[in-house]
Amino acid sequence: MESDLTFDWDPANTRHVGRHGVTQIEVGEVFANEAVDIDYQVIEGEARWTSVGHTAAMRILVVVWTMRANSVRPITAFEPGKRLASDYLKQKGW
């Protein structure tokens, strides 16, 4: 994905992501560092992707997101389990 993406943040999704100890900046870094899509679902008529990626500090995160107009709308973000984190690192060649 492009690093010049815009994000659709509001108090609801900011709080939800924050409950998992993740910041808006970290979510942006995951996309800037070429997150890997691992799932796609349509939930209540809305397309949602699940991606795994890493931050500038090498924190691996899972981000569930959708597109709203031309912006990425994060729904939630959290640390993956050990197996998914390991698979991600192997896929990246680390």
Tell me how far apart the alpha carbons of residues 49 and 10 are, in angstroms, rounded to a whole number: 19
Mean predicted lDDT score pLDDT of the chain = 94
Beta-carbon contacts of 18 under 8 Å, excluding residues fewer than 6 positions away, are: none
Q: What is the pTM of this model?
A: 0.91
Mean pLDDT of 16-43: 96
Mean pLDDT of 57-67: 97
What are the tens digits of pLDDT across the range 27-40?
999 999 999 999 99
**Bridge partner residues of 71 (DSSP):** 68
Q: Give the pLDDT score at 59.
A: 98
Q: Give the pLDDT score at 2.
A: 44
